Amino acid sequence: MKKNLAIALVNWNAKEYLDACLSSIERETKISHEIWVVDNASTDGSKEYLRDRRDVRLIANEGNEGFAKANNQVMRLADASYFLLLNPDTVILDQALDRMVAYLESHPEAGAVGCKLLNPDLSLQPSCHAFYSTLGSLIENKLLTRLISWRSPRSPWLSFWDHERIRSVDWVTGACLMVRKETIEQVGELDERFFMYGEEVDWQKRMREKGLQVHFLPEARIIHYGGGCSKKAKKPMNRQELLSRELFIEKHYPFSTLFLYRLKARIARLVMKRIKL
């Protein structure tokens, strides 16, 4: 029978988070749903743990296929009205997923919706953002934020958006992103050239280009530990993040923007190497 919601978790060596995440889904989600977990060749016992859970549909890949491809595997198999990208290092609070489904059902102009992300201490984690711009990237540059201490949870530059009210935004973080089935049919799947990072930004950029809105719903809240999978290989993932950002800019912006991005990135690397940050 068709479910209201298909939930996709992509796991790579994040076993320590899985029980809390899956238990919170079952505890806090009342609408009909199915949970899919794609395991990208974990070596920490994740597959064995997941095989023993009757509430999970497991896809066990023989290699690490990346985030976009793994989610696409679920999209092709699941039959539900709504589809959720959810990181395994999350905990659902206060029926957040039910709230998101109800919101999409009452707001047909929204092709997707995201929730408010909280750190483990329940402080705000930036959850929605503006699309890339050269000026914005300079303001949010990691090098600058290390050299000067202007960045704080109260800073207007933290993520460019108010996190206290419902609004249409450029993009929401893919740690918890819900889309309609019709949105997927209209926009297409995630671009598998993005191995990890940037795929949800590209997806939402394509939604906006099709005239669909992306909404931020602060009443829906989850805890996001952050880096549950990526911290297992920090240096390669940092490099992958840069490659994905460059691919996104190359795909959606004129060459002049790509040139300035590459120039800025090269200067930043040289400065960081010189001052050993």
Assign 3-class secondary structure to 94-131: CCHHHHHHHHHHHCCCEEEEEEEEECCCCCEECCEECC
Rounded to two decimals, the pTM is 0.82
Asked if residues 171 and 205 have their Cβ atoms less than 8 Å apart, the reply is yes
Least confident residue range of 124-133, 209-218, 242-251: 242-251
> Is the pLDDT score of 118 beyond 80?
yes
The CATH homologous superfamily of the domain defined by 5-133+160-228:
Spore Coat Polysaccharide Biosynthesis Protein SpsA; Chain A (3.90.550.10)
**Interval 140-163 mean pLDDT:** 48
Least confident residue range of 16-30, 107-121, 245-259: 245-259
Q: What angle do CA 82, 101, 68 make, to 5 degrees?
A: 40
> Is the pLDDT score of 227 beyond 70?
no
> Is the pLDDT score of 94 beyond 90?
yes
Least confident residue range of 49-58, 72-81, 141-150: 141-150
> Is the pLDDT score of 173 beyond 90?
yes
Cα–Cα distances in angstroms (integers) from residue 47 to residues 41, 60, 101, 182, in the given order: 8, 7, 29, 32
- Residue 179's pLDDT is 98
**Interval 67-94 mean pLDDT:** 97
> Is the pLDDT score of 168 beyond 50?
yes
**Interval 248-260 mean pLDDT:** 74
- Residue 4's pLDDT is 96
**Interval 60-80 mean pLDDT:** 96
> Is the pLDDT score of 138 beyond 70?
no
**Interval 160-184 mean pLDDT:** 91
Least confident residue range of 121-135, 168-182, 220-234: 220-234
> Is the pLDDT score of 228 beyond 60?
no
- Residue 220's pLDDT is 98
pLDDT band at 195 (very low <50, low <70, confident <90, very high): confident
